[in-house]
Amino acid sequence: MSVKYLKETASQTAGPYVHIGLAPHQAGFDIFQNNFDNNMVSATTRGAQIIIEGRVFDGSGSLVRDALIEAWQANADGRYNHPGDRQETGSVDPNFRGWGRACTDFETGLYRFYTVKPGPVAGRAGKVQAPHISLWIVARGINMGLNTRIYFADEEKANEADPILRGIELKKRRDTLIAKPSHKDGKTIYTFDIVLQGDNETVFFDV
């Protein structure tokens, strides 16, 4: 007799109408008093405020205009707002949950997060992880949410030491995880496109 555990429920696609449940304003109606959205910060959140922006492409190079993307990240100190984070440096920011939800636009295909740049986070075995944001992507045609990470091009040194980036041999593949900064109207925007399939396919993780 084998050891018995329950089995994880089978994932099913979020479908074309995922917005109804998770982002009703994008579906075209207003129902909840409090909506979860892509603004992860308030005026009092500590750290450098940034914008993450990008598009999602399918295997034919077409825009995926019905994707929903969630972000999970540490604060500017590198701390997660969760009791499971027992790092000893820095502190939790009560004004930063570290989570947001964005949709690609039905016309332009653009998604956007308003957040702060995360600090470096402890990795395993005493290693340090470069600043990063974890992403989870669902859409019609995606049977199980895809996991990836955003790293930052201006963190070159930290990126070189990052245990996950180091584990990706091909530079071309590694580069799919690195967002490039630009500046507009005094704001810092990091561009992070996600390619579901094909030549510049984003590295996705089995987490």
The residues that touch Fe ion, with contacts defined as CB under 5 A, are: 15
Nearer to Fe ion, 15 or 47 (CB): 15
* C-alpha to C-alpha distance for 172 and 170, rounded to whole angstroms: 5
Interacting positions 88-117 with another protein (CB under 8 A): 88, 97-99, 106
| In 23-114, alpha helices (H) | 24-27
Greatest distance between any 2 Cα atoms in the chain: 65
Interacting positions 6-35 with another protein (CB under 8 A): 6-22, 24, 27-29, 31-34
Minimum Å gap between C-beta 27 and Fe ion is: 12
Q: In the structure encoding, which two tokens stand for residue 54, read together?
A: 């990008």
Q: Which residues are bridge partners to 55 per DSSP? A: 110
- The pair phi, psi for residue 26, each rounded to 5°, is -70, -30
Minimum Å gap between C-beta 9 and another protein is: 5
**169 forms part of the interface with another protein (CB under 8 A):** no
Residue among 67, 68, 65 nearest 101 (CA): 68
**Residue 12 interacting partner from Fe ion, another protein, none (CB closer than 5 to 8 Å by kind):** another protein
Interacting positions 114-153 with another protein (CB under 8 A): 121-125, 129, 132, 134, 136, 138-147, 149
Answer for which of 83, 107, 157, 186 binds another protein (CB under 8 A) is 83
Nearer to another protein, 34 or 183 (CB): 34
Q: Which residues are bridge partners to 181 per DSSP? A: 190
* C-alpha to C-alpha distance for 182 and 152, rounded to whole angstroms: 12
